[in-house]
Every structure is written in C-alpha cells, then in structure tokens.
Amino acid sequence: MNRTKVFRTKEDLESALSDNPIRVLRIGEQKVCIAKHDDTFFAFQHLCPHQKHPLKEGLITDFGEIVCPLHEYRFNLKSGICVNQKCSDLITYQIEIESQGVFINLK
C-alpha cells in the first residue's frame, strides 16, 4: 500500500476544502479528488470511469454521492459503487487523520 502524507494537519485539510467542495491533489503521477460530506473526508479517482470526465466539476449530493456532470452518473463516496449501475465503480482511497498528519492510502 502506498501511504502518502498530503496535509500537515486536519485543519490544513479543512482549509483546502473551504472554498471548493472537491479538490484535486497530485500524488506523484496520480491525481486524486478529495471531498467532505457530513464531517467525513473522502478520496477518490480524479476521472469518471465512464468517459474520463474530471469529477472535480461534479456535485456532492445529500446522500453522500459524487455526481459526474457529463452524464450524471452517481457514485457512493464511501464505497465507490456506481449507484446508476451503468458503468464501472469509482476507485476510492482511504484517508487517515493522525497527529503526524493527513495520509491517503493509494491502492
């Protein structure tokens, strides 16, 4: 597992999402989206698995889903499951908030 420190503190993570509900991070050669819903942080692949549209432009629903703006495919933020069952599931990543910082585990 590739565990990468992405923020020094939880406050830094909160600040990164204060003006935009979805943020893209570059971790090495990979881009990962982070988002917050109901006081929980989520990390997921940058592009929709359907037609590779950037999910940064998507919408977070009250049901804890990210909606791709291109064809409105919906993905559960926690599991990555495509709620519409029309394409592959979204890859999600675990976020760990510790005293040493905020880490994302890339698969």
The pLDDT value recorded for residue 31 is 96
What's the number of CA atoms in the CB half-sphere (13 Å) around residue 79?
Answer: 7
pLDDT by residue (tens digit) across 4-28? Answer: 999 999 999 999 999 889 999 999 8
pTM of the model: 0.93
The pLDDT value recorded for residue 107 is 75
The two counts, helices (H) then strands (E), for the chain are: 1, 9
Domains of the chain, start order? 2-106 (2.102.10.10)
Low-confidence ranges of the chain (pLDDT < 50): none
The pLDDT value recorded for residue 1 is 60
Distance of CA 53 to the CA centre of its chain: 14
The pLDDT value recorded for residue 20 is 87
Helix (H) or strand (E) segment spanning residue 13: helix 10-16
